[in-house]
Structure 1
């Protein structure tokens, strides 16, 4: 199992988990849910106490990844299998992302 903290504008919003059986789970943390000033990180993840579960990496997070030649270079440089999308997300989405969301390995 691998996990990451998901931040929006440097505020920890929740936890993204890749389970041992290849499922992905996103869950908001309670302080973020209770803070009425904080909005959902995406339309696909409305603020809720439910867990969001998927058999593939959620498109919202997948779209944070590089494609094509950039992805190849990142995978070679970081020694990450090109099919390890969660590993690539953990290695590249912790800073300097487009937008307010960052993902930091736990």
Structure 2
């Protein structure tokens, strides 16, 4: 199982998890959810106390990944399989992202 924290403007917004069968969950952090001024991280992931589940990486997070030549270069440089979308997300979306969302790997 791999876990990543999802930040919006450097504030913990929730947790994204990939289990061993490549099923994904996203849940908002309790404190973030309770803050009525804190917006949802995405239109496709509205703020709710429920846990979102998917058998593919949620499109919102998948769209944060590089494509084409950049993806190939990142995969080779980081030694991560191009098909390991969760691994690439944790390795590349921690600092220099477009927008307010960053992803940080939770130490195992």
TM-score band, normalised by the shorter chain?
A: over 0.9
User: Which runs of 4 or more aligned residues in structure 1 lie more than 3 Å from their structure 2 counterparts after TM superposition?
Assistant: none
2:96 aligned partner: 96
RMSD: 0.5
CA–CA distance in structure 1, aligned partners of residues 8 and 88 of structure 2: 19
2:7 aligned partner: 7
* TM-score after normalising by structure 2: 0.97
1:47 aligned partner: 47
CA–CA distance in structure 2, aligned partners of residues 46 and 76 of structure 1: 35
* TM-score after normalising by structure 1: 0.99
C-alpha displacement at 1:35, in angstroms?
0.7
C-alpha displacement at 1:37, in angstroms?
1.1
Structure 1 unpaired stretches of 5+: none
